[in-house]
Structure 1
Amino acid sequence: MRVAVVAESFLPQVNGVANSVRHLVDHLVKRGHQALVVAPGPGGEAHGQTPVVRVRSLPLPMYPEFPIGLPDNAVRRALTEFAPDVVHLASPLVLGMSGLRTAERCGIPTVAVYQTDVVGFAQQYGFVGVERALWAWMRRVYARAGRTLAPSQAAFAQLAQIGVPRLFCWPRGVDLERFHPAHRDPSLRRRLAPNGETLVGYVGRVATEKRVHLLRAIAGLPGTRLVVVGDGPATDDVRDAVPEAVMLGMLRGEELSQAVASLDIFVHTGAHETFCQAAQEALASGVPVVAPAAGGLLDLVTPGRTGMLYPPEESEAAMGGFRDAVRHLAGNAELRAQMGLAARDSVVGRGWERILDDLIDVHYRAVVESAATPPLAA
C-alpha cells in the first residue's frame, strides 16, 4: 500500500502529532508499505526511507515553535506524483484541507485523525468568540474525509456533536519498551530526592494551553518534590511560581524513560486533551496519574485504580481537589505501588504495533475498498 501522510506537524517539532506520524511511517516501512510525508516547517528531505516534502509555513503567533502549513502547489505535486492508495490527514487544519482537496480531485480515499482540540487551545490563549467559527471549519474538514478517527470517547463526542459522519474511535499507541517500570533509576531518584521525598512530576510541553500555572496548587506539599520535564514558553512562569521545583528541561531517549519511571506520581494540568500521550506513557512506566476529569484523560485514568481525577475547573475547590489527591497518594506508598501495577496492566494491549496494524488493516483497507466498490444501480 502507498500511504501519503499530510501532517500539520512533523519532526524536528516535538509534539503529539509529530510523534504519532513518526511512529506511523516507521511502522508502514517495517510492514513493507511505501510512505510519503508532506509537512510544514524546516527539516530534512527524508525520514529514514520515507521522503518528506516541506511546504511553506508561518509561525503561529502565540506558539512560534509550531509552524502552520500554508496552501501550496507543492501539496498537489507531491500527492499526484506519489499516487497514493490512501491519504492520511494528521490533525488536519489548513495544510490538511489542502491535502483533502487534492485527494478529492484525484479520487484518492482519505482517513483523518483528530488530535488537537483547536477550540480549547484558542480558549486558553484568550481568543473569545471564535468557537463557532472554529467548530464550523473543523466540521467542514472532517465531514469530507472518508473516515475520521477520534482518539478517545470525549473526542468522539465532540466531533459527533458537530455532525461529523463516518466517525470511529482509534486510540494512540505507546512504546511499551521505552516506557517501562524497569527504567526506574535509583541514582536519579537519590539526586532528585536526596531526603527521600516523594517525586511528583509533570512531563510535557510547558505552555499556557497545558495550564501549567496550576502546578502551584501542589507546591510545598510536605515530603514531596515537584519535577518538571519539558520545555516551552511558560518555563520561566513555572520557575517563578514554584521556585523549589526541579526543572529538568527537554529530555529524550533513555533519559526520558528513566525520568518518567523514577516518578512516584505523575500529574497533568491540561483540560483540553483529546488523548494525553504523556499520561499514557506514565501509566506504561508504572506510575499512577493525577489529572483533570476531562477529555482523553477520562479514558486513561480509572479513579482509585490507576490514579485519581480532580475537577477540571480552575476554581479554588477544584485546586483543593488536585492538592488533596496528590497529598493522599504521596502519603500512601502501598497504594501507589498497587496503582502502579494496575497502571502498567491498563496499557499493555496498546503497543504501537497493534494500534498501527488496526489503522492499516481496518481503517485504511475500509476506505480503499469503499472507493473501489462501484455504487449500486438505482
Structure 2
Amino acid sequence: MRIAVVTESFLPSANGVTTSVVRVLDHLAAAGHDAVVVCPGPAPRSYAGFPVVEVPAFSYRGFRAGIPSAGLVRALDDFRPDVLHAASPFGIGAQALVAARRRGVPTVAIFQTDVAGFARQHGLAVTAPTVWRWLRHIHSYADLTLAPSSATLADLAANGIGRTRWWGRGVDTTTFHPQHRRTEPGRALREELLAGAGPGTALIGYVGRLAPEKRVERLVRLASLPGARLVAVGDGPSRPGLERALAGTGARLLGRLDGPELARAYAALDVFVHTGTTETFGQTLQEAMASGLPVVAPAAGGPIDVVAEGMTGYLYAPEDDDALERAVRVLVADPQMRARMGEAGRRRVLPRSWEALGEAILGHYRDAIAQTASTRV
C-alpha cells in the first residue's frame, strides 16, 4: 500500500501524536509498504526511509502548528496514495481530509488530542462548543475515525462524530523494563535522586509535558509528603513556575529525557503519578506500568481503560486533589503493595505491542479502501 501520513506533530517534537506516528511508520517500513509524511516544519528530511514534506508552521505555547498550504496538496498529488492517514487532524489534517475526499482517496483519521479539553485548560472554555463543531466537520470527511479509549469513543458519539472504531496504543516493553533499576547506570541514577533523603524514601514520579493542560501544579503538594521525594521528567511552558513552586522541597526536575535515559528514569521511581484530566489515552501510564510501577491517575478519559483500580494502581476523582494525595500516601507507606501493583501492571501491558497495533491499523486502512471502492460501484 501507499500511505500518506499527514500529522499535526512530528519529530523533533516529543508527544503522544509523534510517538504513534513514528511507530506506525516503523511498522509500515518493516512490512514493505510505501509512505510519505507531511508535517509542520522544521522536521527531519526523512524517517524510516520515507520522505518527509514540511509545511509552514507557527509556534503556540510550545507547539508547532502547521498552516494549510498548496504544498500539502501538491505532496498528496505527487505521491498518489492508496489511503490517507490523518494523525490528530485539526489544521493541516483537515485540509488533507478535504483534499483526499475530492480525489476519491480513502481516509483514516486518528482522534488523539482532546482539543476542547485543551481549550478549557487554557481558560478558553467558551470556545469548546465551537471546537467540537469544527471537529465534527473535519471528521465528516474521514471514512473511519479511530480513538484510543472507551471514554474517547463515548465523547465522540456524544458530540456527533460517527464511523468510529477503537485503535489503542502500544508500548515497548523491552525498552521500558524494571531491570533498568538493577543496572549500574540505573542504580547510580536512583542514588543521585535520593541523595540527602532519609532511609526508605520513596520516589514519586511524573513524566510528560509541563504545561497547563497537564495540571502539573498539582505536583507541588506531593513534594512535601513525608517519606517521599518528587521527580518530574519533561519540559514545557509551565516549567519555570513549577521550579519556583518546588524550590527548597528537594524535588528534582530532570527536563526532557529520551531513549535509555527515559527508561532508567522510569525504573528508578517507586510510584508514578499523572495529574492531567484530558488524556484521550495516557501513554506514559503504560510506560510506567511496563517499568514495574504502580500508577495513580484521574478517573477520566484514557486512564480508565489503562489502570485496573486497586490492582495496578489507583484512580482518583479528577478534580479531587485530596484523593490524589491520599492514593499516593498509601503507596508511599507500603513497599509490598507497590511491588504487587507494579508486577500486575507490567503483566497487564505485556500483550500491548506496537507490532499488533501496526497490523490492526493496516486492517483499518484496508477497510477504508474497501468501503470507498464499494461506493464507486
Band of TM-score, shorter chain: over 0.9
Distance in 2 (CA, whole Å) between partners of 1:223 and 1:20 is: 37
CA distance in 2, matches of 1:53, 1:219: 44
Residue 53, structure 1, aligned to residue 53, structure 2: yes
For the pair 1:78 / 2:75, whether they are aligned, the reply is: yes
**Equivalence map 1:161-172=2 (5 Å):** 161-172=158-169
- CA shift, 1:253, in A, is 1.0
Please say if 1:68 is aligned against 2:61: no
Q: Does the 8 A contact of 2:29 with 2:48 survive in 1?
A: no
Cα distance per residue 1:243-269 (max 9 Å; x no partner): 221111111111100000111100010
| TM-score, L = length of structure 1 | 0.95
Within a 5 Å distance, the mapping from 1:5-84 to structure 2 comes to 5-60=5-60, 63=61, 65-84=62-81
Instruction: Show the 5 A alignment for 1:331-342.
Output: 331-342=333-344
Q: Which residue of 2 aligns with 1:294?
A: 300
* 8 Å contact from structure 1 (residues 93, 141) kept in 2: yes
Q: Please give the secondary structure, in 2, of the residue aligned with 1:129.
A: helix
Give me the whole-angstrom Cα distance separating, in 1, the residues matched to 2:150 and 2:226. Answer: 36
> By how many angstroms is 1:188 displaced?
1.6
1:175: which partner in 2? 172
- The structural deviation recorded for 1:187 is 2.1
**Which one of the candidate residues 103, 106, 111 is aligned to 2:100?**
103
Alpha-carbon displacement from aligned partner over 1:92-113 (angstroms, at most 9, x marks no partner): 0010111011111111000000
Aligned residue in 1 for 2:286: 280
TM-score (norm 2): 0.95
**Aligned residues of 1:217 and 1:320 also touching (Cα < 8 A):** no
Q: Distance between the aligned counterparts of 1:100 and 1:85, measured in 2?
A: 13
Tell me by how many angstroms 1:48 deviates: 3.3
Task: State the SS of the aligned residue for 2:132.
Answer: helix
Distance across 1 between alignment mates of 2:97 and 2:104: 10
Shift of residue 274, structure 1, vs aligned partner: 0.3
Q: Which residue of 2 aligns with 1:207?
A: 211
Aligned AA for 1:321? A
Partner of 1:370 in structure 2? 371
1:353 match: 355
Contact 2:153 2:164 (8 Å CA) reproduced: yes
Alpha-carbon separation, structure 1, partners of 2:215 and 2:70: 37
Return the offset for 1:217.
Answer: 2.5
String of CA shifts for 1:8-39, please: whole Å, max 9, x gaps.
01101111111111111111011100111000
Distance in 1 between the 2:12 and 2:339 partners? 36
Structure 2 portions without partners, runs of 5+: none
5 Å-filtered alignment, 1:163-242, equals 163-184=160-181, 185-194=186-195, 195=198, 196-242=200-246
1:260 corresponds to: 266
Paired position in structure 1 for 2:116: 119
Which residue is equivalent to 2:309?
303
Percent sequence identity is 48
Q: How big is each residue's C-alpha offset from its partner over 1:277-336, in whole Å with a ceiling of 9 and x where there is no partner?
A: 1111101111110111111011111111000111111xxxx1111111111001111111
Contact kept in structure 1, 2:107 and 2:144, CA below 8 Å: yes
Q: Which SS does the other structure have where 1:308 is aligned?
A: strand
Report the alpha carbon displacement of residue 69 of structure 1 after superposing the two structures with TM.
Answer: 1.1
CA contact (8 A) 2:4 2:83 kept: yes
Of residues 128, 132, 147, the one that matches 2:129 is 132
CA contact (8 A) 2:294 2:341 kept: yes
Alpha-carbon shift at residue 375 of structure 1 (Å)? 5.7
Structure-2 separation of matches of 1:374 and 1:135: 28
Describe the superposition over 1:125-160 as per-residue Cα deviations: whole angstroms up to 9, x where unpaired. Answer: 111311111000001111220100011011101101
* Residues 34-91 of structure 1 deviation map (CA, whole Å, 9 limit, x = unaligned): 111000121222113010000111222xx1x312111111111111110111000000
Code of the aligned partner of 1:274: T
Q: Is 2:25–2:48's contact at 8 Å kept on the other side of the alignment?
A: no
Work out whether 1:89 is the aligned partner of 2:86: yes
**Deviations 1:205-243 (CA, angstroms, capped at 9, x unpaired):** 111110000112212111101001111111121122222
Give the drift of 1:374. 4.9
Is the Cα contact below 8 Å between 1:217 and 1:322 reproduced in 2? no
Count of equivalent residues: 368
Cα drift, residue 186 of structure 1: 2.1
2: CA distance between counterparts of 1:253 and 1:164? 36
Q: Given that residues 38 and 52 in structure 2 are in contact (C-alpha distance below 8 angstroms), is that contact kept between their aligned partners in structure 1?
A: yes
Letter in 2 for 1:264: D
Report SS of the residue matched to 1:130. helix
